[in-house]
Amino acid sequence: MYEQFYGLTGRPFQLTPDPDFYFESVSHKKALSYLGYGLSQGEGFIIVTGEVGAGKSTLVAHLVERVNPEQLTIGQIVTSALDSEELVQVVAQSFGLDVESRDKASALGAIEMFLQEEAREGRRCLLVVDECQNLDVEALEELRMLSNFQMGSHPLLQTLLLGQPEFRRMVAKHPDLEQLRQRVIASHHLAGLEQEEVEAYVRYRLEMVGWNGNPEITTDVYSELYNATAGIPRRINQVMNRLLLLGSIEERAGFTVKMLNDVCSEMVLDDEQGTIVPSTPTPDWATDSVSAAAAVPAAVPMSSDVRKAIADLERRLDDQEQSVRHVLTLLVEWFEEENQAEAA
């Protein structure tokens, strides 16, 4: 709808990863450097983490597009709560192997044979595992065991692990993942865009679809957009989509801070009514596609003290949530230990 009104050739802020719209922020550039170094080693694990919507999948799509398939074969999986046997099946299928009716041992054999054949053809193999925070320790250990496949002294499989911040903490601290930690050769946490990068990001995506300055977006709008989204690309896309739609409906040639605040308030209301489903199990207003600052009605200006207080509350809630998760994890581990079930 808004594409026709503003004379755009497509939708610039779609939510699905698209390597054609890849924007190299400072953090993305660092991530690519770590990936390049890691891939040059040809072994072990590379870990990239980031908040929901930070651009991990887009980064990988960009990487895959640049890879020469004659030199590197890539298998990609998006994980749910898989056990070790299910994980082996999914890994095999990601490389195009038919192991549906086979047991775990047979599936592992098929994977090893495939990796050896690829090595003989002069191709290395990379396994990309997304949403790793959904995997338990047993499944992660299975991935580590897959990294043991070798031909002579040459490793046959390298693995790129993508996940949310809690996955980074799990790998760093869990006592049963020491062997996996020793095989991590590169790691990077993908941060949101810097405040000065938000304008460049929005303009870049608009220009990709023929934007010629209509609608006009002023500097103060970009500043508030950063405050409302914390620089997370997917959140920016969500807000900009709504803003473009509102602008086309009201036939606006330019955007104002009031329009932006109206859009953000509407999105918070949608979330409260269940229209937008939060992607993480934290409080709705803390994980919405906009920050809590955007939930304040547009008619009420917020001082820096108010914003600071809101940010402090968000941090406290995040700390409390992590503490609860840690306690629950300890309880589950205690319960699962031998001879502890009755006591638990």
Task: Return the CATH superfamily for domain 26-190.
Answer: P-loop containing nucleotide triphosphate hydrolases (3.40.50.300)
User: Residue 102 pLDDT more than 60?
Assistant: yes
Dist CA 57 CA 62 (whole Å): 9
pLDDT for 152 equals: 86
Nearest to 60 by CA among 144, 184, 160: 160
Average pLDDT over residues 208-216: 94
Q: What is the pLDDT of residues 129-153, one digit of tens each?
A: 999 999 999 999 999 999 999 998 8
Domain boundaries, the chain: 2-17+195-302, 26-190
Its pTM stands at: 0.73
Please provide residue 11's backbone torsions phi and psi, each rounded to the nearest 5 degrees. Answer: -90, 115
Shared fold status for 2-17+195-302 and 26-190: no
Bridge partner residues of 159 (DSSP): 45, 127
Helices 165-173 & 304-336 angle (0-180, nearest 10): 50
Query: Is the bond leading into 69 cis (omega within 30 degrees of zero)?
Result: no
Q: Report CA-CA distances (Å) from 209 to 70, 137, 213, 221, 293.
A: 32, 44, 12, 20, 30
Q: What is the pLDDT of residues 35-79, one digit of tens each?
A: 989 988 989 999 999 999 999 989 988 888 888 989 999 999 988
User: Which CATH architecture fits 2-17+195-302?
Assistant: Orthogonal Bundle (1.10)
Average pLDDT over residues 98-111: 89
Q: What is the pLDDT of residues 36-46, one digit of tens each?
A: 899 889 899 99
